[in-house]
C-alpha cells in the first residue's frame, strides 16, 4: 500500500534500474590520451604555461622558437600595440587550433589576472626590459628577457635582487652561450687548452642610443590601437612620433643604450671563457669617439671592446661575422661569430677535440645546445640558467660602464662587487636614470 509522499516501484522496474546503475559503474571511463601523456603529448601537470610581453620583431622569433617545445603552452599575449598582440595571437591560436589566447594591453592587468601563467617572455623595446622583468618576478613569474636586459647599472642590480628575493628563474637572451661554435671557443679558453688567457675581444661595433634630441610631435593614434603612455613606460615623456614605434627608438638615449646595444650580445660570451670569480675591478681606458676601447681586469686579463666601421656584419681582423668574441692565450686562440660553420682557431690541431669538448661541457653542465630549452629545463629543476641574473649583470655593467666612459671622455675604474665607480661621483650618478612615477617598479 503506497503511503503519502512515496512512489511505488515494481520489482521489474527495480531490477532494471539496478542493472543500469551497475553497468554504468562497470563501464570504462574514457580519458583522453593527452591527459595521460601518451602519443608524445605532455601531461597538463608537466606543461609550462607561458605568456608573452611585447611580442613583435625579435619577440615573434622567440615566440616561434618557444611554442615548438612540447611542454610549453602559451595562453596570453600582452602588448601596448593592438596590431602586435593580434598578430601574436594568430600565431598562438594557429599552433593550438583554437581561439583561446587572451589579449592584454596593460602589463599590470595581465600580471594581476593571470595567476595561471608560470613564466613569461619579455621582448619589448629595451626601455621596458628591466622594469617588466622585475614586475613579472614580483608577480611570481619566471622570466626569459631579451637583451639588453637593462638600461642602467642600477636596473641590472634591481633585476638580480628581485630574482634572488622571489626565487625566480631568469634567463637573458644571450643565446650564443648555448650555440656550439661559441661554446667551443669559450670552453677552449675556460679549460686551459689555450694556456692562461691574456686577451679577450668582444664585438661592440654597432652604436645606437646616442641621440639626445627628440622627434616632433605627431597626432596620437587611438589608445586602443597604441597606448603611448604605456609604450614610454619608465622613460621621460616625449611627444608621439611614428618613427619611434617603428624601430627608430634605438637611436635615442631616452629609450636605448650605446655600447650596451651591441655589447649585450657579446660581453657574456667574452666573460664566459675567463674566471670572473676573482675579478674585483675593471679599468676603462678612454680612446676617443668610435675608437676600440681597452679595459683591464683585476685578474690581469685585457678585455678589448672592438669597434669596426661599416655595417654590423662587416668582417674585422678578429672574426668574420657579427657578434663575435675571441680568446688569446700562449697556446693559440679561438674565435666565433654568427654564420660560422666551425669555430675559428689559430691552428687546425685545436679542432681535433671539437666533439669531445662539447660533450664534456654538456655532461658537466647538463645543459642543451638550445637556449630556450635551458630556460624551460631550469624552470622545472629550479637551478640557475646559463645566462642567469649574475651573468646578465656582469656583462651589462661592463657595457654600461663603457658607455659612461665614452660620455665623460676619461678613464674610469669600476668595482664589480660594489657596482660603483671608484672615486668618481659624476660617473656614479650616471648609474641611474630618472623614471616617471607612474611606471616605477
Check whether residue 67 and residue 161 sit in a common domain.
yes
Highest mean pLDDT among 13-22, 247-256, 369-378: 369-378
Q: Is the pLDDT of residue 22 over 80?
A: no
Check whether residue 262 and residue 381 sit in a common domain.
yes
Phi and psi torsions of 226, nearest 5°: -155, 120
Q: What is the percent of the chain with per-residue pLDDT over 70, rounded to a whole number?
A: 89
Structural domain contains residue 130: yes
Least confident range from 4-13, 56-65, 347-356, 378-387: namely 4-13
Q: State residue 313's pLDDT score.
A: 61
Return all residues near 317 (Cβ < 8 A) that are at least 6 apart: none
Check whether residue 333 and residue 424 sit in a common domain.
yes
Phi and psi torsions of 200, nearest 5°: -125, 140
Check whether residue 146 and residue 200 sit in a common domain.
no
Check whether residue 191 and residue 114 sit in a common domain.
no
Check whether residue 272 and residue 309 sit in a common domain.
yes
Check whether residue 276 and residue 146 sit in a common domain.
no
Q: Is the pLDDT of residue 35 over 50?
A: no
Least confident range from 43-47, 155-159, 243-247: namely 43-47
Q: Is the pLDDT of residue 393 over 60?
A: yes
Q: Is the pLDDT of residue 98 over 70?
A: yes
> How far, in Å, are 36, 120, 238 from residue 105 at the CA level?
36, 15, 20
Separation of alpha carbons 272 and 175, rounded Å: 13
User: The whole model's pTM is what?
Assistant: 0.90
Structural domain contains residue 363: yes
Give the three cell numbers for residue 261: 646595444
| HEC assignment per residue over 218-238 | CCCCCCCCECHHHHHCCCCCC
Separation of alpha carbons 292 and 282, rounded Å: 16
More confident residue, 185 or 277: 185
| Contact (Cβ atoms closer than 8 angstroms) between residue 59 and residue 372 | no
Region 77-94: mean pLDDT is 97
Check whether residue 77 and residue 189 sit in a common domain.
no
CATH number of the domain enclosing 131? 3.40.50.720
Check whether residue 346 and residue 362 sit in a common domain.
yes
Residue where a domain stops, chosen among 172, 200, 234:
172
Q: State residue 17's pLDDT score.
A: 52
Q: Give the total number of structural domains in the chain.
A: 2
Check whether residue 167 and residue 186 sit in a common domain.
no
Structural domain contains residue 403: yes
Check whether residue 142 and residue 181 sit in a common domain.
no
Check whether residue 413 and residue 382 sit in a common domain.
yes
Q: Which domain holds residue 356?
A: 176-208+257-439
Q: Nearest Cα to 79, choosing from 117, 51, 98, 100?
A: 51
Structural domain contains residue 161: yes
Separation of alpha carbons 429 and 420, rounded Å: 9
The model's pLDDT over 187-225, given as tens digits with 9 standing for 90+, comes to 999 999 999 999 999 998 777 888 999 999 999 999 999
Q: Residue 43 — pLDDT band, cuts 50, 70, 90?
A: confident
Average pLDDT, the chain: 90
Q: State residue 307's pLDDT score.
A: 86
Region 44-59: mean pLDDT is 92
Structural domain contains residue 250: no
Amino acid at each position: 500500500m503506497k503511503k503519502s509522499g512515496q512512489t511505488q516501484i515494481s520489482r521489474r522496474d527495480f531490477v532494471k534500474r539496478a542493472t543500469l546503475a551497475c553497468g554504468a559503474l562497470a563501464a570504462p571511463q574514457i580519458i583522453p590520451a593527452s591527459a595521460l601523456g601518451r602519443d608524445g603529448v605532455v601531461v597538463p601537470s608537466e606543461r609550462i604555461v607561458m605568456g608573452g610581453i611585447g611580442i613583435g620583431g625579435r619577440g615573434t622569433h622567440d615566440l616561434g622558437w618557444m611554442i615548438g617545445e612540447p611542454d610549453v603552452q602559451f595562453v596570453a599575449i600582452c602588448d601596448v600595440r593592438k596590431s602586435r598582440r593580434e598578430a601574436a595571437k594568430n600565431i598562438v591560436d594557429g599552433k593550438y587550433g583554437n581561439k583561446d589566447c587572451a589579449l592584454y594591453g596593460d602589463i599590470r592587468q595581465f600580471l594581476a589576472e593571470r595567476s595561471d601563467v608560470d613564466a613569461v617572455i619579455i621582448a619589448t623595446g629595451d626601455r621596458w626590459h628591466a622594469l617588466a622583468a622585475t614586475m613579472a618576478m614580483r608577480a611570481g613569474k619566471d622570466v626569459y628577457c631579451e637583451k639588453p636586459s637593462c638600461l642602467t647599472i642600477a636596473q641590472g642590480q634591481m633585476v638580480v635582487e628581485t630574482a634572488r628575493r622571489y626565487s625566480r628563474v631568469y634567463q637573458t637572451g644571450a643565446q650564443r652561450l648555448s650555440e656550439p661554435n661559441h661554446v667551443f671557443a669559450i670552453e677552449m679558453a675556460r679549460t686551459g687548452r689555450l694556456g692562461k688567457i691574456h686577451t679577450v675581444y668582444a664585438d661592440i661595433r654597432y652604436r645606437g642610443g646616442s641621440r639626445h634630441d627628440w622627434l616632433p610631435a605627431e597626432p596620437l593614434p587611438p589608445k586602443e590601437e597604441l597606448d603611448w603612455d604605456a609604450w614610454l613606460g619608465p622613460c621621460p615623456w616625449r611627444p608621439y612620433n611614428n618613427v619611434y614605434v617603428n624601430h627608430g627608438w634605438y637611436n635615442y638615449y631616452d629609450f636605448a643604450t650605446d655600447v650596451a646595444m651591441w655589447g649585450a650580445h657579446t660581453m657574456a660570451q667574452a666573460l664566459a671563457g675567463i674566471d670572473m670569480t676573482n675579478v674585483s675591478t675593471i679599468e676603462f681606458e678612454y680612446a676617443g669617439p668610435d675608437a676600440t676601447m681597452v679595459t683591464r681586469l683585476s685578474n690581469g686579463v685585457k678585455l678589448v671592446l672592438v669597434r669596426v666601421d661599416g655595417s654590423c656584419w662587416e668582417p674585422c681582423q678578429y672574426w668574420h661575422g657579427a657578434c663575435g668574441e675571441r680568446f688569446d692565450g700562449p697556446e693559440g686562440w679561438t674565435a666565433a661569430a654568427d654564420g660560422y660553420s666551425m669555430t675559428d682557431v689559430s691552428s687546425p690541431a685545436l679542432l681535433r677535440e671539437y666533439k669531445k669538448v662539447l660533450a664534456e661541457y654538456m655532461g658537466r653542465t647538463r645543459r642543451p645546445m638550445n637556449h630556450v630549452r635551458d630556460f624551460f629545463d631550469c624552470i622545472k629543476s629550479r637551478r640557475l640558467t646559463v645566462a642567469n641574473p649574475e651573468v646578465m649583470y656582469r656583462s651589462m655593467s661592463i657595457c654600461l660602464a663603457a658607455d659612461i666612459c665614452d660620455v665623460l671622455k676619461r678613464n674610469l675604474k669600476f668595482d664589480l662587487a660594489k657596482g660603483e665607480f671608484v672615486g668618481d661621483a659624476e660617473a656614479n650618478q650616471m648609474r641611474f636614470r630618472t623614471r616617471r612615477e607612474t611606471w616605477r617598479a
